[in-house]
A and B are shown apart, each in its own frame.
Chain A
Amino acid sequence: MKLLTHNMLTSHVKGVIKGYPLIIKATEVKVNELEFNGQFVSRMIPKLEWSALIQAAGWLGQSQDLPSTLIPDYENDEEFLRKVHRILLEVEVIEGCLQCPESGREFPISKGVPNMLLNEDE
């Protein structure tokens, strides 16, 4: 699971109001190279919940000195974009789980795939 995906996932346990962002508890993380495209990154940034991304990067020890709020004119800062590219697409959680911040419910991640299915009674 890449952090770009994590940025879009929320908890949908019944009754939960603040199910975002899901807390990442990783037991296995991999870094895979992926071709950098500056345009992709700079267009993706406005679509993200930036603080959730920074939080997630922190949980995985990949903060890389990224700022907690966006700097203006980031589109032209290639070094910055490359750092964002890395945490969005190259860092992957292979094993672990995602935890709902309100209910504590854990969703397992196995072989890079999170299982978000709820049980009958949830």
Chain B
Amino acid sequence: MMQELDQAVTIGATVPTGFEHTAAEEVQEKLEATARVSKNRGRIYFDITTDKLLKVHQLKSLDNLFVVVKEYDDYQFKTTKEEVQMDWEELAAKLPWTNALAVWKLNNSIKKKKGCRKRTNPTKSDQCDLEALEVKRNQRDVSSQPENDSEEEKHSEIQNQESGVTPLKFRVTCNRAGDKHCFTSNDAARDFGGAVQEFFQWKADMTKFDVEVLLNIHNNEVVVGIALTVESLHRRNITHFGPTTLRSTLAYGMLRLCKPQVSDVIVDPMCGTGAIPLEGVMEWQNSFFLAGDNNGTAVSRSVNNIKHILKRTHDGGSSSGLPLDIVQWDLCNLPMRSSSVDIIITDMPFGKRMGSKKKNWELYPLCLREMARVCKPGTGKAVLLTQDKKCFLKALSQMEGLWRKLHTVWVNVGGLHAGVFVLKRTAVVFGPTSVDVMEPHTATGSQK
């Protein structure tokens, strides 16, 4: 195979909105590239050479990747649909496609090397992202036989396409935001798609496409790209889903906010299927993760997710462990020594899809107190995700100075506006308060 010179290329990535800066940090740290945060939330851009493409796929903050064909800072849109359509035709013909398509081709071979893996699909996607970049199609099951019929067929089809024998199949996905456009995203996708088809003589196919052309329009900012990911990267650790499993990229972003140190004890007291501790233990192997939940099903799903990771990282080798434990417990009455935890990180019940708003009024103060008890005064931190911001902030204000707000990241989780609250445990020692003197009760009311 001919060795090609490493090409310079601009990569765009979608990230959970609110975590653009932690994603940029990861890019800087691992690729030594400076990332720009787009005005269009949830997107970052960075320049690399193609030898780093595999590493880009291994980054943990990024949901979807694309290669930028061209960016326009100040695209002047005409005022009638007909004129806009003509502009798309003109644009398609003069865009610098060659380099981007070379990267797309290289990316295909990288993806093959990574291997396709069987993936169960979520029964309930919490990805109601308005990002049309997300491809909501099922990943085809690839059998363990290296050469079953359809795989060989697809392989030779790509070869034919790449050598120019069969036309490539493509689709255009358009994201549009702004109130001065005389067209909709569907108009743009259709018209630009028509122009692309005319130019390349490719076949349009909405579902079985080889090339996904991305047209991102944010006011006068236009970015044309080619998608490099088929499935979103954000479900990587979870094979056993629960009803509200958190995106791995979001879990990773939250963990970065904690800045885990060597020997930190990091607890997720309502871990669900374990998205956060699993993401944590894969990246920060010098901290110790303790995950707990009161629900037996959640606990066994977490255990299964861990087993799956252990199999992946140590196939054929001796059984190896991870610095992680799971306990079944009631987070309002944690069976833990006081002041033993460095970081508490969790996804708190939203009240809409899990639990209820009424329950949150009781649950939040109780669990914030219990978290304050086990967390180290002065040095401890908490990173808490919740959609019930009002309830959370009210509960926090009742905490007699046990927690101090450091900052808040506003995020979008499954279409709901949520907040990630980063708290510092103050030096105030936990002790009996007027709240304690009252008759103790637990969250569910039925348990005593």
Contacts and interface: CB of A to CB of B under 8 A. Distances in A.
Contact of A118 (B286, B321, B326, B330): B330
Contacts, number: 95
A80 interface: no
A40 B336 contact: no
Contact of A117 (B300, B321, B330): B330
B263 A43 contact: yes
Nearest to A14: B448
A9 B327 contact: yes
B446 interface: yes
Interface of A: 1-2, 4-5, 8-12, 20, 30, 32-35, 37, 39-41, 43-44, 47, 49, 89-90, 92, 107, 111-118, 120-122
A113 B448 contact: no
A111 B325 CA distance: 11
A107 B328 CA distance: 10
Interface residues of B, number: 33
Given A8-B290, A120-B448, A33 B318 contact: yes
B57 to A, nearest CB: 24
Contacts of A92: 321
Given A8-B265, A44-B288, A89-B323, 13 more contacts: A4-B288, A10-B336, A12-B335, A32-B320, A37-B285, A39-B263, A41-B263, A49-B337, A89-B288, A111-B300, A114-B328, A117-B294, A117-B330
Nearest to A44: B263
B286 A37 contact: yes
A88 to B, nearest CB: 9
Contacts of A107: 335
Nearest to B342: A47
B322 A114 contact: no
A115 B329 CA distance: 6
Interface in B312-371: 318-323, 325-330, 333-337, 340-341
Given A5-B290, A113-B328, A116-B329, A12 B334 contact: yes
Interface in B206-222: none
Contacts of B330: 116-118
Given A34-B322, A35-B285, A117-B328, A43 B262 contact: yes
Contacts of B334: 12
A116 B263 contact: no
A121 B448 CA distance: 6
Given A34-B321, A89-B323, A116 B262 contact: no
Contact of A8 (B303, B336, B448): B336
Contacts of A113: 299, 303, 326-328
